[in-house]
Structure 1
Amino acid sequence: MALTNTPASSEPVSIWTAFQTPVFRAIWLAAFVSNIGTWMQNMAGVWLLTTLSQSQVLVALMQTATSLPIFMLSIPAGALADLLDRRRLLLTTQLFMAGVAGLLGVLTLTGSISPYTILSFTFLLGIGAALNTPAWQSIAPELVPRPVLPAALILNGVSINLSRAIGPALGGLIIAHYSPGYVFLLNGVSFLATCAVLYRWKRKPMEMNVPVEDFFSALRAGLRYVRFSPAIHAILIRGITFTFGTSAMWALLSLVVARRLQLDAGVYSSMLTSIGAGAVTGALVLSRIAQRLHIEWRMIATTLTFAGVNLALATVTTAYWLYPVMFLAGIAWLLTLTSLNVTIQLNLPKWVQARVLSIYMLAFQGGLALGSLVWGNVADQYGLSTALLLAAGWLVLVTLLPLFFRLPYGQTPDMTPAEGWPDPPVTQPIRPEQGPVVVMIEYRINPSELADFLKAMEPLKRLRLRDGALRAGVFSDITDPTRQVEFYTVASWGEHLRQHHRFTREDTRIEQQVHRFHTGPDRPVVSHFVTQPGVEQPPFIAGMDTMSG
């Protein structure tokens, strides 16, 4: 039976509304099974390495081995997810991870295992996750209607964190009675559940009416979009600074349990279960909290909570008091991640979604990888308590960031493609690779309103640069103060056609803010100029690949 994305009804949106979409429900359940296997694997891998090695750095490097591949491959993976069929890409990465986990299980059961083997296979699984994550993150808007998207993202958080509560507990039981090798084998099998559902998903083919981007153009487009999007800057900075401080808990928790408290794998797995239970609780109360608490106050509260978690791990001498602390950590973790994830997804158009999400994951996992390495080395040199206390101090400082990098808040921008942006008429064929292209738009502006017009042009100029322009600006006619000409230069005709299809309704609103200053009898006059083949370009055009404004 084919899976479709037709909702079962049109009831008011709640956290459970996304389950009315059959394909989302099926993929969610399959991902839940796979996530249980992943958390079993993470717990078993960390604990096995803890028992095989006395080095605190090696144990902390488990988090780095997981996060570093995402740090290295996230951006290319995002470009691939926007260019390739996401269903096929996901099937490939899931099968790859199933094979890696299965082989690790066989090596463990046969006794051919060492700390460096565990780190190497964890790194390979991280590569699979790095190639998988941008595509996986970006399919949610394809599975559910946009009004239901926040609920779907919250439920994805529930899947990850409910499995975090179940997976370590199951992993601990298996380790206690059998071997970590069986945990790795079960994780390999769990990926196959997702493969089965993805195979049945009949994804709607993407209609391409413009020249297709090549891989490196797609990479540049994603980086350019982030560069000229201040709202994305704030989300990235807030994400990486938060995860840098919270990585101390993830990297050093097993050492606190095994070294400082002298307890076994069962206690460690139950700590992870407490985190997962707290995260599920956070997901269930998120919508109520979001209605009552501004996102900035939410972020401050969760950051301070994690500072307290690190402080508790550094000072508490009995595991009894750490269970409620881990429960609070789970709530804070879910609230923060979901708040950031929903915010960035609602501020992205479809054409660049996977690429920007990959950069977001790069910042997120980069913070975890770098933090794990830093706090692990501090713990090795100066002790666990010192590392955790310093991480707590860092998170206190992070609460000052809203003064400089405020998260976008308020009415959600309309990122659906704009209407009324037909391709420019041409009198002769133009090849997609032909260029550069210069676009000029002539306005008639009342001199008394010139300052306000130029101020309104700044967001539009940033928009042009974000969507593909190499350079943009406004020129004034020195003989006629009412005549103002906007220009922007694009690398090729194909890239300019893609610009037309990247324009969103939110972009139209920004453009209309500029057009309201136009006093001419007709709409502003738009002219297109394209370089003829074989004509040498002057330096100021040929050297515009710096994307300067």
Structure 2
Amino acid sequence: MLWWANLAANAGMWVQNTGAGWSMTTLDPSPIMVSLVQASSMLPVFLLALPAGALADILDRRLFLIAAQLWMVAVSLLLCALAWGGMLGPWSLLALTFAVGAGTAMTFPGWAATTPELVPRSDLVQAIALNGIGFNLARSLGPAVGGFVIGWFDTAASFALNAICASLLLIALLFWRREASEANRTLPKEHFLSAMRAGVRFVAASPLLRATILRALAFFFFGAAVWGLLPLLVREQLGLGPESYGLMLTAMGSGAVGGGFALPWLRARADRSKIVLMGTMLSGASLALLGVSFHWFVAGIGMVGYGISWITVASTLQASAQFAAPGWVRARAIAIYQLSFFGALAAGSTLAGIAGHIVGLPVTLVSFGVLGAIASWLVRRAQIEAPLTAEAETIPTPARPDAPSADLIQALGEQSGRVLEVVRYTILPADRAAFLAAMAECRRVRLRGGAVTWRLYEDVALPERWIELWAVESWTDHLRETARLTPEDRAVLARAASLQIAGSTPELARYLNVLPEGGRG
């Protein structure tokens, strides 16, 4: 039910994008203004992605998505009314396109984070690919429908159709009965600002997510030239009308659907990193072909190739981001990934518009294709897939620390202030190098779990003694740490503990900050 409703909503979004892009070619046909339509729809995701991800993680995700969809319906109806009344100008079009994009920005992280709730982990990659196929089916149908609606009626009708399609997803969300998560049910919800900080710290400490974001920037920044310049390519370089504009987008969507069905075959023969590299090279070639196209057939081939590259790269990177983020922070991690994704699209689309105005469409498209291929080649070594590991779970992790004193129980909670956590190790000098390597991984585990600082100290008198220190914002955040550990994180901590001198275990302790920063005893 949700997949079909989302297919309809995505189709409506593409109908709206087609109407907005074509409206601007009438209201103000300069390359900069036309490209700003795309930028205004993507910029809200850049600005609102992290707040939206934090809200989707700490609020009831279903209710949050319902509220975002209500906003989308309301703004689409307003856009329709202004267009029908002849009161829509270029800047009001950009403002309302930005408002529609704000609804999209609030929806994307929460929607992406629901996929693991609806399918088992073993089906996650295929489910993400199916979502991508649905998105590109919508891209195939939406622009074509939008082009014909504009040709038969006007752009106001395309905005009205988007409101109807968004209402279908709203109805489906109302019927969805989401299962409540058991995780952290006994703990209070995270606060908005601290939730955003925790999301940023998690991504900063995750090599896989950082690599995924880097690869996304290289692909989407240069690939955005298609989105920013396609209306002008169709109208000026090819000399065609709105129906052909919709059909060009349909050609791209058709290529994406075909690429989506080919993904399992590709995945069986190459890892994610190679799939992304192949997709970006195809994207560069497709952009160059569009730049030299002066006939609809050649341009159509370029759009099909671009669609294949888009679904291949976007689905693979999205799967990498999903796998790298555990459930408690998934919406925030995906939001930060999408922030880079849409930020690159907005910046690339705007720059392509400026370049198109200065040097023309053919040179701009060819240049973006070549530069995109070069950038993706330069970042090809950034690994987006964790190596398979079968670390033994039998290695003991450090024992739990002593229970809190009864005298301090009342002081523990969300307002406790920072909590310092300490692990004392005794390591043989011969194991020093292995221990330092293990602790480098432990640092990332602690930071992903919510630590605001982390340090490792070696005893200057007895070098076999080590102290690992890290601090979290409150006692409640300390209690959340255990639930946030993934099996891979536990294996990392177990490797460090296994280096402890035989016959002993690392000692754990927790300390409460009793003076404010700068206070004096």
How does the TM-score come out when normalised to structure 2? 0.94
**Residues 296-315 of structure 1 mapped to structure 2, 5 A cutoff:** 296-315=273-292
Amino acid in the other structure paired with 1:461: R
Deviations 1:153-202 (CA, angstroms, capped at 9, x unpaired): 11110111001111111112212211121111111011111111111111
Contact 1:472 1:487 in 2 (8 A): yes
Q: Tell me the SS of whatever aligns to 2:383.
A: coil
- The answer as to whether partners of 1:444 and 1:520 remain within 8 angstroms in 2 is no
Q: Distance in 1 between matches of 2:37 and 2:230?
A: 12
1:34 aligns with 2:15: no
Q: Contact 1:279 / 1:331 at 8 angstroms: preserved in 2?
A: yes
Q: Is the 8 A contact 2:79 2:96 kept in 1?
A: yes
* Distance in structure 2 (CA, Å) of the matches to 1:29 and 1:320: 32
1:431 is aligned to 412
SS in structure 1 at match of 2:268: helix
Matches within 5 A, 1:156-171: 156-171=131-146
- Find out whether 1:82 has 2:57 as its counterpart: yes
- Within 1, Cα distance between the matches of 2:459 and 2:256? 60
Residue 209 (str. 1) matches residue 186 (str. 2): yes
Alignment of 1:136 with 2:111, yes or no, is yes
Matched, 1:277 2:259: no
Equivalent position of 1:63 in the other structure: 38
Residue type at the aligned position of 1:178? F
8 Å contact from structure 2 (residues 417, 475) kept in 1: yes
Given that 2:431 and 2:499 are in contact with CA atoms closer than 8 Å, whether structure 1 keeps it comes out as: yes
Task: Output the amino acid matched with 2:201.
Answer: R
User: Considering only aligned residues, what root-mean-square deviation do their CA atoms show, in Å?
Assistant: 2.2
Instruction: Structure 1: give runs of 5+ residues left out of the alignment.
Output: 1-25, 542-549
Q: How far has the Cα of 1:302 moved from its partner? A: 1.4
* Structure 2 counterparts to residues 306-325 of structure 1, below 5 A: 306-325=283-302
* Deviation of the 1:143 alpha carbon: 1.1
How far apart, CA to CA, are the structure 1 residues paired with 2:89 and 2:43? Answer: 20
Match of 2:304 in 1: 327
Whether the aligned pair in 1 keeps the contact of 2:287 and 2:306 (CA below 8 Å) is no
Letter in 2 for 1:478: V
Q: Which amino acid aligns with 1:374?
A: L
In 1, distance between residues paired with 2:98 and 2:2?
A: 26
Q: Check conservation: 2:399, 2:506, Cα contact below 8 A.
A: no
Aligned 1:8-19 pairs, distance under 5 A: none
Distance 1:33 1:172, change over 3 A: same
| 1:178 correspondence with 2:141 | no
Please state how far the C-alpha of 1:259 moved relative to its aligned partner.
1.0
Q: Does 1:491 align with 2:468?
A: no
Which residue does 1:292 correspond to in 2?
A: 269
Secondary structure at 2:384's aligned position in 1? coil
In structure 2, distance between residues paired with 1:440 and 1:449: 21
- Native 8 Å contact 2:144 2:246 kept in 1: yes
Instruction: Decide which moves more: 370-379 or 315-324.
Output: 315-324
Q: Distance in 2 between matches of 1:216 and 1:372?
A: 31
Give the total of aligned pairs.
511
1:323-371 Cα deviation digits (max 9, x unpaired): 1221111111000000000111011111110111100110000000000
Other-structure match for 2:492: 510
Residue pair 1:295, 1:409 contacting (<8 A) in 2 also:
no
Distance 2:24 2:389 in 1: 45
Secondary structure at the aligned position of 1:187 is classed as: helix
The CA deviation at 1:93 is 0.8
Cα distance, 1:281 vs structure 2: 0.5
Q: TM-score, normalised by structure 1?
A: 0.89
Query: Deviation digits for residues 212-244 of structure 1, max 9, x if unmatched?
Result: 321110010011111111111111011012111
Give 1:233's aligned residue. Answer: 210
AA in 2 matched with 1:327? V
Aligned to 2:434: 452
> What is the one-letter code of the residue matched to 1:187?
N
Give distance in 1, aligned partners of 2:328 and 2:81.
42
Q: Distance in 2 between matches of 1:100 and 1:481?
A: 65
Structure 2: runs of 5+ lacking an equivalent:
none
Match of 2:454 among 456, 459, 472: 472
CA 1:292–1:441: 2 relative to 1, 3 Å = same
Separation in 1, partners of 2:460, 2:98? 61
Task: Give CA deviations for 1:427-451 in whole Å, capped at 9, x if unaligned.
Answer: 2203212132222212221111112
After alignment, is 299-308 or 396-405 more displaced?
396-405
Do the aligned residues in 2 keep the contact of 1:296 with 1:402 (CA within 8 Å)? no
Among 341, 354, 377, which residue is 2:331 paired with?
354
Q: Find the aligned partners of 2:516 and 2:27 in 1 and give their Cα distance.
A: 65
> Equivalents in 1 of 2:439, 2:176: separation in Å?
44
Q: Does the 8 Å contact 2:148/2:242 carry over to 1?
A: no
Q: Which digits, 9 at most, give the CA deviation of each residue in 1:471-515, with x for residues without a partner?
A: 222222334333222222223212211222211111001011111
What is the Cα deviation at residue 420 of structure 1?
10
| Identity, % of aligned positions | 33
Cα deviations by residue, 1:258-299 (Å, 9 ceiling, x for unpaired): 011211111111100001111110111100011112322222
Taking the aligned partners of 1:60 and 1:257, their CA distance within structure 2 comes to: 14
User: Following superposition of structure 1 onto structure 2, how do residues 409-420 of structure 1 map, counting pairs within 5 Å?
Assistant: 409-411=386-388
Paired residue secondary structure (1:113): coil
Correspondence for 1:545: none
Hey, what's the Cα distance between the residues in 1 that align with 2:38 and 2:200?
A: 26
Contact kept in structure 2, 1:211 and 1:498, CA below 8 Å: no
User: 1:434·1:493 contact (CA, 8 Å) conserved in 2?
Assistant: yes
- In 2, the alpha carbon distance for the partners of 1:32 and 1:258 equals 28
CA deviation string 1:41-85 (max 9, x = no partner): 111211121122221110000110111111111111111111111
**Matched-pair contact (CA < 8 Å) for 1:303–1:398:** no
Within 2, Cα distance between the matches of 1:116 and 1:483?
A: 66
Q: Cα–Cα, structure 1 residues 304 and 213, in superposed 2: closer, same or farther, change >3 Å?
A: same
Q: Which amino acid aligns with 1:474?
A: L
The alignment partner of 2:189 has SS state of coil
Q: 1: distance between equivalents of 2:402 and 2:300? A: 63
Q: Which amino acid aligns with 2:54?
A: A
Q: Distance in 1 between matches of 2:490 and 2:402?
A: 17
Q: Does 1:196 align with 2:174?
A: no
| 8 Å contact from structure 2 (residues 219, 376) kept in 1 | no
CA-CA distance at 1:536 after TM superposition: 4.7
Name which of 79, 82, 101 aligns with 1:107. 82
Report the CA distance between 1:36 and its aligned residue. 1.2
Rounded to whole Å, the distance in 1 between the matches of 2:375 and 2:85 is 47
Query: 1:39: how far off?
Result: 0.9
Q: Paired residue for 2:359?
A: 382
